[in-house]
Structure 1
């Protein structure tokens, strides 16, 4: 019995006993928290945030770990968490600012700005401290990195001191942050009088802002005399559009692969891949759209998705590989992080990309050896970019800089610094032959370990203040959190629909991403068979995450 008491409540008799106590306590908090997070009430669960509530409960009943050890584990967990997020979103971060992505990210910025504005209004209206309001804001949008950034900013500002009310506000607002976001998305469906069937069809065609981030395959019969006898590369220069012709079928013959030098004549049928926004212009230039099934179902050609796993291909362009002349196959599209890209010659490949290869089966098999297609190879972790990136991120986060109007120097901190470095390494690493790819399972493991350590540390440090704060009127914070959740989503949803003319399924994906709210995304994807919510979420999530981390720090530095 004495041994159990020492492990749970600690003992100062020996250093080894204190370490054993800390490890056991952390393990119990994380284990019980994860179990609690899996329990669903009305289809909604706490997820990994259950660890925070269990840590609060343990701390309230006197079970704590050494303050210095807890501080280290909390900060190191936060670094692992935000760095793994940055590596994941880095490859798609800058590509999300293409034409259609700018529209979606403008809407995401509006959601973040409205959330910050609502927080500031409530700060002045209620008289609560800004530390409390930032905690409530982070919980209302389920943004754990924002919580970490706020605590780090406060600690830097007050020389190592913590503000327990940040974690308390987060914990109080989090549950309704999940439920409120989902209910708001559901309310928009009725407020906007959405015709589900018509929206589903439109989402499948990619006719709104997502037209820059999807591809469409179509068959066209050549009938325009202006392109008679021209090569495909000449037509591409004439059209000023990106497209790939995978197959051509001359009248009365079987389909064959098309090359850049292949010439087209009246009556020829070509199968091409392009962005939805370019379909109308290309059909008008070439002739008329026809049924693509006869060419797609032809047994002499196959189409296969191949995974790029060879490090030596990292950063190479499609033009450099010369797969058409060397292997007799054509690459039509590339899938990167769930987004389809037209296979233009200047597109740089990255480890983990999936390329769609078309050609005779034997040729496709030979091309497969070029790309690797070995999941076993990807399972090997690349640790050097991770730890070099973390070191650089901490260095960047420690640099102070001044922003006009703010009395204190600003630091990106242990949340912002590693996040920015990870995004940059994830995006530009392949250009310098740096392999930054990690499998989704490895990235998720790194992320979950980090966030578990962080939330356990936060909970164990905030428990003493949690219950007294609630009894003293802290339950009202739930209403403040609901306002921060619902008002921005509702206003931005109406704006996105009426001003940007966004498809409903694209819209709810963007709103989920702008709220950095995975449960809301899960709800959104369940509403449609299309990828519109997932693509919309992926387009705005990186910028939204960065802005929310930055906003949490700035509010603390300006008002706290």
Structure 2
């Protein structure tokens, strides 16, 4: 077997064993794809090698898909989520970077080892990728990552369990929930018999309860058949309407309208009256449903929106973002007109445009090699920053000329996982030969440094959430987990409470945290 063949076999073997290791779960905690780096470190220590180009290809694929996925919501977070979560995330990440720099200076750590500790403590593989791309091949960045990563995972999970003692109940109640009352937020349909004469002659937008409860009238019963509501639809007593909303809020709407129809069977004409539309058109991006007047223009009602894998019933003030998947209900002719107006039918976008993918990757590589002159300093984004920036812009805008920024979630996730696995396998195998020599050289001070880098930003986050940002307990928990890019931490939160607040805060902060860490890791290297 030739040397190149052995390296390819080793690459596949390391990735396979690493993913198997990542699937092992202990008390809800697992390594995921990061398990690859631990197997790769062991393989490198035993003298095995993987193809050098695997890491380069992996970095480009991973960060480009990361940008495509974060692009639609990244700018929206600044515009819609307010300053509190942004301040929380920025201060936590900067404090982690400063502590990593201080630890490196005190212990005399190499730039690669310090950057690896920073990336591992914050469980950030994008930061590891950015640091690796800036350093020579024989650096210790993957060793630092492997040492700090377990402390980053376990530390956040343990911290989440003591967070209720650090934040008072009053801070949690400022958000209207103390997290003790579980609410069923699953989306459901209820057929309602309108009996309240006070709502007769009114549209749903005239009743505040619909906006408050985020519910929609998706169909009205005509001659024992459910039909989409016409543009001129008004409520009348004796009507039977189909209301869509969260199960915990629908009773409030039913109470205002009349009563729920019991034991009434109905059939939905999903094929003719229903479309899933992915928003890509400038006609609707950045506009609220109220501003678009879809019912009067097309006879279409938006009953649900799926954004960042979260499905919800929108309010009239909901602003549409690029990549939103809309569930539109209406007559066939109006639906087809709306599809052309808003974007594309979802099933037409299930295939990845390989030409756009390759052009986007190539453009990202070129952008990464552009040098920016800052006085006497020449700076470039590199193979980690260039594709990330192009991915963010494409994801936000939808396309740049002929290059499409849309990629189906399954394809994006697959390419991202392949890229990350390739990069971790190469980086770990490259650094594995130095693993034990580094541990023998520094002893217990490296784990101790990793613990400090984990604890300080968590403490900063609690202080800011309690005294500066005035966040509720659940919003603070989600925001802190997002700033630490800790999915296991979020899992610990959601296992304790039945609320969507932590997940919403996490989703708002997570893209910003990934990008800031990608920027800070090379900056940390330059200062050491």
User: Common fold, TM-score beyond 0.5?
Assistant: yes
Displacement of 1:108 in angstroms is 0.9
User: Where do 1:259-338 residues align within 5 Å?
Assistant: 290=256, 294=260, 308=276, 314-317=281-284, 324-325=295-296, 328-337=299-308, 338=310
Give me the whole-angstrom Cα distance separating, in 2, the residues matched to 1:333 and 1:526.
25
Give me the whole-angstrom Cα distance separating, in 1, the residues matched to 2:183 and 2:455.
28
Give me the whole-angstrom Cα distance separating, in 1, the residues matched to 2:160 and 2:311.
23
CA 1:437/1:321 → structure 2, altered by over 3 Å: closer, same or farther? Answer: same
Q: TM-score, normalised by structure 1?
A: 0.74
State the SS of the aligned residue for 1:142.
coil
Measured on the aligned residues, the alpha-carbon RMSD in Å equals 4.8
2:40 is the counterpart of 1:55: yes
Which residue pairs with 1:390 in the alignment? Answer: 361
Which residue among 77, 80, 86 is the counterpart of 1:105? 86
Displacement of 1:483 in angstroms is 1.3
CA 1:295/1:509 → structure 2, altered by over 3 Å: closer, same or farther? Answer: farther
User: Where do 1:123-202 residues align within 5 Å?
Assistant: 123-154=104-135, 161-194=136-169, 198-200=177-179
2:23 is the counterpart of 1:38: yes
Which residue pairs with 2:101 in the alignment? Answer: 120
Contact 2:322/2:396 (<8 A) preserved = no
Which residue among 463, 470, 493 is the counterpart of 1:494? 463
Give me the whole-angstrom Cα distance separating, in 1, the residues matched to 2:418 and 2:78.
31
Which residue pairs with 1:96 in the alignment? Answer: 77
Which residue among 345, 354, 371 is the counterpart of 1:400? 371
Give me the whole-angstrom Cα distance separating, in 2, the residues matched to 1:296 and 1:440.
39
Which residue pairs with 2:223 in the alignment? Answer: none
Which residue pairs with 1:425 in the alignment? Answer: 394
2:504 is the counterpart of 1:535: yes
Which residue pairs with 1:23 in the alignment? Answer: 8
Q: TM-score, normalised by structure 2?
A: 0.78
Give me the whole-angstrom Cα distance separating, in 1, the residues matched to 2:87 and 2:243.
32
CA 1:245/1:410 → structure 2, altered by over 3 Å: closer, same or farther? Answer: same
User: Where do 1:1-16 residues align within 5 Å?
Assistant: 7=1
State the SS of the aligned residue for 2:35.
helix
Give me the whole-angstrom Cα distance separating, in 2, the residues matched to 1:296 and 1:325.
31
Which residue pairs with 1:549 in the alignment? Answer: 518
Residue-pair matches, total: 505
CA 1:177/1:31 → structure 2, altered by over 3 Å: closer, same or farther? Answer: same
CA 1:465/1:511 → structure 2, altered by over 3 Å: closer, same or farther? Answer: same
State the SS of the aligned residue for 2:327.
strand
Summarize deviations over 1:31-61 as a string: whole Å, max 9, x none: 1111222223454332222211221212212
State the SS of the aligned residue for 1:393.
helix
Give me the whole-angstrom Cα distance separating, in 1, the residues matched to 2:466 and 2:240.
38
Contact 1:52/1:456 (<8 A) preserved = yes
CA 1:57/1:409 → structure 2, altered by over 3 Å: closer, same or farther? Answer: same
Which residue pairs with 1:4 in the alignment? Answer: none
Structure 1 stretches lacking a partner, 5+ long:
1-6, 8-16, 155-160, 207-213, 250-254, 284-288
State the SS of the aligned residue for 2:178.
helix
Displacement of 1:502 in angstroms is 2.2
Contact 2:203/2:233 (<8 A) preserved = yes
Displacement of 1:262 in angstroms is 6.7
Contact 2:147/2:447 (<8 A) preserved = yes
Which residue pairs with 2:326 in the alignment? Answer: 354
Displacement of 1:350 in angstroms is 4.7
Summarize deviations over 1:234-279 as a string: whole Å, max 9, x none: x79xxx99x9974899xxxxx998777778999x9999999xxxx9
